[in-house]
Amino acid sequence: MTLARVQTVRKSTFAIAFVLLAALFVMAALNTNIASATTVEASETTRVFDVAHIDTLQYMVMPAGEFWIARISAEIADNEQLPATVELAVPQHAAVYRFNEVNAAHDFPANMEQRTENGFDIYRMTLTSERIIVLEYTLPGSPFEQTSDGPSINVSYTPFWPIRYLYLIAALPVDSAVTDPRFTFIAEGPDGEPAFAEIFEDAQAGQEYTTQIVYRANVSAGNDSSVPLVALAIFGGAAAVAVIMFFFFKRGARDYDDE
């Protein structure tokens, strides 16, 4: 073999070796990226499955002295076992003064965590003895609005996780009635103030749900004899929900009396 041919063969061998080496580097880089992506995906999946699914969430606005407050009551699904981690979202900078199991003696648990995402404050804790969690905060203003159809209360909430049943509830003045069949009577407060709700099934995470509950005041005084008392017509069907709402009204009154 001539010297020129030997040199040509060596150059070809070096070129092939260089191409193979470059290919190995590319494959190694791809494997690293895939492994990193898999790790992130696994982390996100773990976080999703770490949070218990909420079956029913009731979001209620009600007056408390000279303020208006919002109260969230969330019950985890039947197939969730205790201890269970839950997360609830409220508007960023909301003045939260209670976040704990429904009958807890303290306003905040020792295992509470809080973070901010996309304009919301996310409160997180682990339920250990009860399946219902309550979060309460003071509203920055009044949800009351006078409309051409009468006085009304505006209620809105954005779930952070999917919810099977979302109740948007307003506590109305004593001796009030609601005629719109979209709204369900929930319960009466300790002074006889009725609470009505619009119910949304399969509420999606990140979507704002809103309602406006128009009512008639001073019904028993005969100001509007044509207004039927929807509460009496559907009271029996709301009995199970009313039990939870009774504790809502009772706890809210006690908390503000103590302050």
54-258 adopts what CATH topology?
Immunoglobulin-like (2.60.40)
Q: Are 157 and 209 in contact (CB under 8 A)?
A: yes
What backbone torsions phi and psi does residue 137 show, to the nearest 5 degrees? Answer: -150, 160
Which segments within the chain are labelled E, that is strand? 54-64, 67-76, 84-91, 95-101, 113-117, 120-127, 132-138, 144-147, 150-157, 163-171, 184-188, 194-203, 209-214
Residues 6+ away with beta carbon under 8 Å from 60: 70, 71, 72, 73, 155, 167, 169, 170, 171, 195, 197, 245, 248
pLDDT value, residue 226? 38
What percent of the residues of the chain are helix, what percent strand, and what percent coil, each to the nearest 5? 30, 40, 30
Sheet holding 150-157, edge to edge: 144-147, 150-157, 209-214
Could you give the 3-state DSSP secondary structure of residue 257? Answer: helix
Cα separations (Å) of 59 from 76, 132, 189, 255?
15, 13, 15, 18
Dig out the tokens for 145 from the structure: 């609005």
pLDDT value, residue 247? 45
Flag whether the pTM goes above 0.75: no
Which is nearest to 196 in space by CA: 60, 68, 57?
Answer: 60
pLDDT value, residue 93? 97
pLDDT-flagged residues of the chain (< 70): 1-49, 222-259
pLDDT value, residue 115? 97
pLDDT value, residue 221? 75
Which segments within 207-259 are labelled E, that is strand? 209-214
| Residues making up the chain, counted from first to last | 259
Residues 6+ away with beta carbon under 8 Å from 1: none
Domain boundaries, the chain: 1-50, 54-258
Cα separations (Å) of 86 from 51, 121, 193, 254?
5, 14, 30, 25
Q: Are 57 and 74 in contact (CB under 8 A)?
A: yes
Dig out the tokens for 13 from the structure: 């061998």
pLDDT value, residue 118? 94
By the 10 Å C-beta count (0-12 exposed, 13-18 middle, 19+ buried), 254 is classed as: exposed
